[in-house]
């Protein structure tokens, strides 16, 4: 059980995914979770949905917590932080959940001796199937890093990555959820075209994607090898694969991932 008080500044989709994961995991007691969003209705919704203590004054939030998740929009992130830096306790661990805001940029605003971690989760944390990268600065002690890893592991798989790989994390994990949702939707549309009821088509498509992902993770086999297991000579699957190859399926996905990385780099000023 995590004993420290954890605060959330900003309660958008990703913050709620983390909150939901933490509560479902029962690794932290709800009384140790404090939440602030500048939108009063969001505070009310969070309080009603999760039974959490929401704070209507951000300064009060900062005075109470030991770990601060900052999950606000990248375009206002540093500006908001500059206005709040004097209220953040010196020993508070600050966890940034923002694309494009580097450790260096955070240190310039917060001060060079602050404990800062960048994390990049994905929306699957809502259902305790998240994937999260962790990138600490040099002021995070090993035992503190272990604490945060254990906290996040309660609802997500964890990988420690160097900061230069965060662009890749965003494109292949965080943003990629949208690509997979599009794939499921397209697969279901094809089934509907063949006469299947839509609700049933979503069930088949979503379970197929879930099962395929599980096989990659559990068998350790190369995805190409698993693909070959499904493709019988002269069968239906290889016909579908041929169509996807002719239409540039894999190259389109690769290009999408590359474009996502480039956008992430631009947000970081690279």
pLDDT, tens digit, 9 for 90 and up, residues 136-155: 999 999 999 999 999 999 88
Domain residue limits, the chain: 6-161, 174-267
Is 269 a residue whose pLDDT tops 90? no
Q: Which of the following CATH numbers is that of domain 174-267: 1.10.3730.10, 1.10.10.10, 1.10.357.10, 3.30.300.30?
A: 1.10.3730.10
Q: What pLDDT is stored for residue 25 in this prediction?
A: 86
CA 207 to chain centre: 21
Q: Do domains 6-161 and 174-267 have the same CATH topology?
A: no
Could you tell me the sign of the dihedral formed by the alpha carbons of 122, 128, 129, 133, in that order?
Answer: positive
Name the fold adopted by 6-161: Rossmann fold (3.40.50)
Is 126 a residue whose pLDDT tops 90? no
Identify the band that residue 20 occupies on the pLDDT scale cut at 50, 70 and 90. Answer: confident
- Give 205-232 pLDDT, tens digit per residue: 999 999 999 999 999 999 999 999 999 9
Top pLDDT among 233 and 12 is at 233
Report the predicted TM-score, pTM, of the whole model to 2 decimal places.
0.91
Strand partners, 119: 134
Tokens of 46: 């969070």
Q: What is the rounded average pLDDT of the residues 100-117?
A: 95
Q: Encode burial over 71-90: b for 16+ CB neighbours within 10 A, e otherwise.
A: bbeeeebbebbeebeeebee
């Amino acid at each position: 059980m995590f004993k420290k008080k954890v605060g959330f500044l900003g309660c958008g989709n990703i913050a709620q995914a983390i909150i939901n994961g933490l509560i479902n995991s029962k690794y932290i007691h709800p009384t140790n979770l404090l939440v602030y969003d500048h939108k009063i209705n969001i505070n009310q919704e969070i309080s009603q949905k999760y039974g959490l203590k929401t704070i209507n004054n951000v300064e009060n939030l900062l005075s109470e917590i030991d770990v601060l998740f900052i999950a606000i929009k990248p375009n206002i992130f540093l500006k908001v932080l500059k206005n709040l830096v004097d209220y953040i306790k010196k020993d508070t661990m600050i966890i940034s959940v923002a694309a494009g805001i580097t450790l260096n940029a955070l240190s310039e605003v917060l001060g060079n001796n602050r404990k800062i971690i960048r994390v990049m989760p994905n929306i699957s944390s809502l259902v305790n199937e998240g994937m999260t990268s962790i990138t600490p600065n040099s002021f995070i002690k090993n035992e503190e890093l272990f604490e945060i890893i254990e906290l996040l592991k309660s609802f997500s798989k964890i990988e420690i990555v160097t900061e230069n790989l965060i662009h890749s994390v965003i494109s292949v994990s965080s943003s990629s959820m949208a690509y997979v949702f599009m794939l499921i939707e397209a697969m279901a549309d094809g089934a509907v075209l063949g006469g299947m009821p839509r609700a049933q088509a979503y069930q088949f498509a979503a379970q197929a994607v879930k099962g395929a992902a599980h096989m990659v993770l559990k068998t350790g086999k190369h995805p190409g090898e698993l693909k070959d297991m499904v493709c019988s000579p002269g069968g239906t699957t290889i016909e579908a694969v041929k169509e996807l190859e002719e239409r540039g399926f894999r190259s389109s996905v690769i290009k999408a991932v590359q474009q996502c990385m480039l956008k992430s780099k631009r947000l970081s000023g690279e």
